[in-house]
Amino acid sequence: MALREVKVCLLGESGVGKSSIVQRFVHDTFKPALESTIGASFMSKTLTVDEKTYKYQIWDTAGQEKYRALAPMYYRGAAAAVIVYDVTNESSFGVLKDWIKELQRHGPQEIVIAIAGNKCDLADLREVQYKDALAYAEQTNAIFVETSAKNATNVSEMFEAICRKLPDE
Ligand code: GTP
Ligand code: MG
């Protein structure tokens, strides 16, 4: 059976949990004190969805502002982008909207976009409401999930949903 390679990049403000989501997806682990990413890091992971096998080529970008100009190198030619915000940090949701706009203007035409509201385990600290993010995602035709890299909530489910939404080759 053919293996479909899927280039995906993760974008979003520093500290929202992009690297933690990738760690959870690829190694099924979580580190409470992860170092901030420098430039970008690369990992791959194979998974089977609906009897088809996909090999994710994952570019985990650095969220710090000084690396912002590098992002086009990672979303160029990508089949999918995961834009992450932190449900306990309203400003990270604003940064997410900027990334969506940038992808709509400069990203690949058929890119599948997934919005991940991460750290949903921190219910008491929530600043971004589920329904508000869902309404925004529907308006932008993006997949939407709330995730917890810490508790493994919806992480693999999100990558599976992306596979299902990829256009036919
Ligand atoms: P940059 O590399 O700087 O862009 O940050 P990042 O988006 O990769 O964030 P990172 O994964 O390094 O996570 C930042 C901090 O948030 C770390 O201390 C993580 O342990 C914590 N964190 C990440 N995901 C979760 C989560 O789902 N729940 C909780 N409670 N903490 C999380
Ligand atoms: Mg990181």
Task: Examine the pLDDT at 1 and tell me if it is beyond 80.
Answer: no
- CA dist 121 and 123 (Å) reads 6
- Determine the atom of ligand 1 nearest the C-alpha atom of 12: 7
- CA dist 137 and 132 (Å) reads 9
Task: Examine the pLDDT at 2 and tell me if it is beyond 90.
Answer: no
Contact predicate 85/117, CB 8 Å: yes
- CA dist 166 and 78 (Å) reads 11
Residue 66 is encoded by which pair of tokens?
């000084």
User: With a threshold of 0.95, does the pTM exceed it?
Assistant: yes
Residue to mutate, 34, 60, 67, 83, ligand 1, most ligand atoms under 8 Å from C-beta: 34
17-39 tens-digit pLDDT: 999 999 999 999 999 999 999 99
- What integer is the mean pLDDT of 122-133? 98
